């Protein structure tokens, strides 16, 4: 069965180029009406232009699809609300939200101005929060929604010179982890994509010989599936790039237990450190209460 989006309305932030453009074009090609959001600034978030979003809308319309352009900054709560309001005015509903907008201001933490840290967090993390906050009640009322966050290997594993970006990219995963639980009774699924693709944000970070094999349209199929009616998963982090797709999950080692009624010293932990950090038999948890219960086990023994 073909995965299509007929009758659905998708909002894609940062859709004027790269991954966002690929997502927007694909949704439109499969029947969705699309709100193409892009501030039109530089990679560092400076400047503003309507050209990027307008060109994507023109592409969609030239192919027979329906789309509108929006130029608001997602890092501004009023701008994020305006994006959703504008979408509702044009199409009457919001079914899909892909939080893709992002900027880079790379420097080592010692040399980074706090303003650059805050700006990157504002776009990647708070931008995802603001737009989702605006779309959430619409999805709740319709008892349907598909929300995708965009994380990065820099957030999941770390990358030199990207403390601001890495912090923001892991923050959206924490946001998803809680929001997935709140969305359950409303049939709203919340997932996260961890892409590796050749875009203007990564062209200086990835080997030139790999760029032609890391096309954004190899990430988009994973985003499209997570946004489809066929998808039933929520709270997943899916890696996608160069034809590779996998799941990432925060894991906890089996650990060890000391008698909680007796004193525990750092020397005792030092002696057992290899066992504490041994990930053999590690497991993941679906919610915080599951992990907390792991701590409670054995307390009464």
Instruction: List, by residue number, the catalytic residues.
Output: 165
Q: Which residues of 205-242 are buried (b: 16+ CB within 10 A; e: fewer)?
A: eeeeeeeeebbbebbbebbbbbbbeeeeebbbbbbbbe
**Mapping DSSP to helix (H, G, I), strand (E, B) and coil, where does residue 52 land?**
helix
C-alpha Rg value of the chain to the nearest Å: 21
* Long-range contacts (CB closer than 8 Å, 24 or more residues apart) made by 53-59: 53/15, 53/16, 55/16, 56/15, 56/16, 56/21, 56/24, 56/25, 59/25
């Amino acid at each position: 069965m073909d995965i299509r989006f007929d009758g659905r309305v998708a909002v894609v932030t940062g859709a004027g180029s790269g991954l966002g453009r690929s997502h927007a074009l694909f949704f439109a090609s499969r029947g969705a009406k699309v709100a193409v959001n892009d501030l039109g600034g530089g990679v560092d978030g400076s400047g503003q232009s309507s050209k990027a979003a307008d060109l994507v809308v023109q592409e969609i319309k030239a192919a027979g699809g329906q789309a509108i352009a929006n130029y608001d900054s997602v890092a501004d709560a009023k701008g994020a609300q305006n994006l959703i309001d504008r979408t509702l005015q044009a199409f009457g509903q919001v079914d899909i939200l892909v939080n893709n907008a992002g900027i880079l201001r790379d420097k080592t933490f010692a040399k980074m101005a706090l303003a650059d840290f805050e700006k990157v967090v504002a776009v990647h993390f708070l931008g995802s929060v603001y737009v989702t906050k605006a779309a959430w009640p619409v999805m709740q009322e319709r008892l349907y929604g598909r929300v995708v966050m965009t994380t990065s290997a820099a957030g999941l594993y770390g990358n030199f010179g990207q403390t601001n970006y890495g912090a923001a990219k892991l923050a959206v995963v924490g946001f998803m982890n809680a929001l997935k639980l709140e969305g359950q009774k409303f049939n709203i699924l919340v997932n996260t994509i961890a892409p590796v693709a050749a875009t203007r944000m990564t062209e200086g970070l990835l080997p030139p010989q790999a760029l032609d094999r890391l096309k954004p349209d190899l990430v988009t199929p994973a985003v499209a599936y997570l946004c489809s009616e066929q998808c039933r998963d929520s709270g997943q982090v899916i890696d996608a790039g160069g034809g590779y797709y996998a799941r990432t999950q925060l894991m906890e080692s089996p650990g060890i237990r000391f008698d909680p009624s007796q004193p525990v010293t750092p020397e005792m932990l030092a002696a057992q450190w290899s066992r504490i950090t041994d990930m053999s038999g590690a497991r993941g948890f679906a919610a915080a209460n599951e992990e907390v219960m792991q701590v409670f086990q054995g307390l009464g023994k």
